[in-house]
């Protein structure tokens, strides 16, 4: 009986002080609404930090193609505008939304502009980049359009270079 009590207390303490999971996170949409990641349970998720004035901005086109190809198959995508790299995302949320929809027909979920590195790094990116939080590996956001693939169980599956095409085989094979 004593072992059961001790194990129960250890479990309670570890749950109280343990790492937060992917589904505990939330962010603000580009339209100003709170978006709980709990609604992503059971889905594969691709998270990408995006910018409108980057040499890689044309990836919006392939991101939208990927979303349309697999969006009905328990997959979703979230774009996080960020101005961390050479100030390549200077616009307001309204300007970013207009740019994405008019130039690339973006229909996947876009979030409000955040910081993906530094002292003001958004909690979603803290989780994505810190092994102590995501349980998979440490990473650093190297540039705009870095991709993070989350499995249906809320675990970080893989991190892809900004230069990796959204339609790369290593991404599409996982989504099939």
Q: Indicate which residues carry an active-site annotation.
A: 54
CB within 8 A of 130, min separation 6: which ones? 138
Sheet holding 44-50, edge to edge: 109-110, 75-81, 44-50, 147-150, 156-160
> What is the SS3 assignment for 79?
strand
164: region left, alpha or beta (phi > 0 left; psi from -120 to 50 alpha): beta
Please name the residues in contact with 109: beta carbons below 8 A apart, sequence gap of 6 or more.
29, 35, 76, 77, 78, 79
Find, among 117, 172, 120, the residue nearest to 146 by Cα.
Answer: 117
């Amino acid at each position: 009986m004593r072992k059961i009590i001790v194990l129960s207390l250890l479990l309670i303490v570890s749950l109280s002080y343990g790492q937060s999971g992917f589904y505990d996170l939330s962010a603000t949409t580009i339209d100003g609404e709170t978006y709980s990641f709990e609604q992503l349970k059971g889905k594969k998720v691709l998270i990408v930090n995006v910018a409108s004035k980057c040499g890689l901005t044309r990836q919006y086109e392939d991101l939208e193609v990927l979303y349309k190809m697999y969006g009905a198959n328990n997959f979703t995508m979230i774009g996080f505008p960020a101005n961390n790299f050479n100030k390549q995302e200077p616009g307001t949320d309204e300007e970013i939304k207009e740019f994405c929809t008019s130039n690339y027909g973006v229909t996947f979920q876009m979030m409000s502009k955040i910081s993906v590195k530094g002292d003001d790094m958004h909690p979603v990116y803290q989780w994505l980049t810190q092994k102590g939080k995501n349980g998979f590996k440490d990473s650093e956001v190297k540039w705009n359009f870095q991709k993070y693939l989350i499995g249906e169980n809320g675990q970080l599956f893989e991190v892809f270079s900004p230069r990796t095409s959204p339609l790369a085989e290593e991404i599409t094979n996982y989504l099939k």
